[in-house]
Amino acid sequence: GMDGGQQVKKKSLSKRIVTGWLLAFAGTAVIFSGNILYTMVLAFVAMIAQHEYFNTVMMTGVKPARRISFVASIAMYVCACKFPMQHQLGLPLGFAAVVMWFLVMRPKPGTNADISTTLTGLVYTGLMPSYWARLRCMETVPGVSEAVTTSLDCGIRWLSPLPLASDIVTQGALTYWFAALGCALADVGAYFGGKTWGRRKISDVCPAAGGASPNKTVEGFLSGAVMAMTTALIGARVMGWPQWIFTGIMYGIMISFISLVGDLMASMIKRDAGVKDFGTIFPGHGGILDRLDSYIFVGPSVYAFVTLFLPFVERLGVATSAAGVAGVFTTVATMCIISRRDFWKDVNIFSMGDMSNMSISSNVTNTYVGPTAYDGEDEGRL
């Protein structure tokens, strides 16, 4: 009955909490373990995630080139740690290798779906998470106080019974830790906030996002954003960031948005493949990708934030930076509004009615392309 159902839910929740705490401790130990050990662990975890991703998309009938993607991804992690200036070459060279693999090693040419899912795997579980390694291996990060990292380093060495590597605490590692903590707490806040106050579904605001993950609520997202912002403000203050209140708030907003994007991306892949979880490694959490999906997009965003935005704020101050952020948001919002088909219908400037006689010719068939041909696919967007 009801009691049995509640007991199962409580058991599942306690499993999630225990797993979450264990992951938090393990994650902290790995982050402060030195550049090489950290990169090895990250690459190992990411390759399990890549395996989960390819297994899931193969359920839709595609045949990605898994082995060459695996080798190219490992190369990205090595470059991110040891040769950061060559890191950006990983994707174009990896993609060239993938295409060569399809042409040389397969009995038949690859389809568009085979090539694009391989490239997505290469970006999603190769390039994107490798930015975490690039961030962790940064000796100095703009805006981070050297005194803080030196004190932390001395504290850890004093507590540790074993001799430690010289790069246990880098400014990159500290920045990483606060970013990962913000990401984790945004997830926790969204889960409990959604359960407690969740009324309005995200599908009311954004139908496609709601379709990917129907249980997400606006209140849950806002709860997660508050948690991420609180963590980011504490982190900005501790690390000695320039204009820490402004940069902390911006950091928290960015982490909460981007981690939601990562979460929805994973939901979209699972929904398309018709599975609930990517795997079963973690009790109550599913596979590696189910647990770490929200971190994937955060890595490159945090790297961009500390290398581009922090120096920008330090040089130009809060007022100019706030104006820049407002300008970017306004531009994005305007683009979103004018890219909706119903906007153009309302203003009557742009009409596709004249296209009714158009067709696309091919050597196979003539296919009619009219205004209604895309309506179901783009959900009202151009």
Sign of CA dihedral 263, 267, 268, 273: positive
Q: How many CA atoms lie within 13 A of 143 on its CB side?
A: 24
CA distances (Å), origin 50, targets 46, 126, 189, 322? 6, 8, 27, 38
Name the 3-class secondary structure at 217.
strand
Q: How many CA atoms lie within 13 A of 251 on its CB side?
A: 37
Give pLDDT, residue 375. Answer: 44
Q: What does the block give as tokens for 245?
A: 């209140």
Give pLDDT, residue 8. Answer: 64
Give pLDDT, residue 29. Answer: 87
Give pLDDT, residue 377. Answer: 45
Could you say which DSSP state residue 140 is in? -
What span, in angstroms and rounded, lies between the C-alpha atoms of 213 and 260? 10
Given a cut of 70, the residues of the chain with pLDDT beneath it are 1-11, 282-285, 341-382
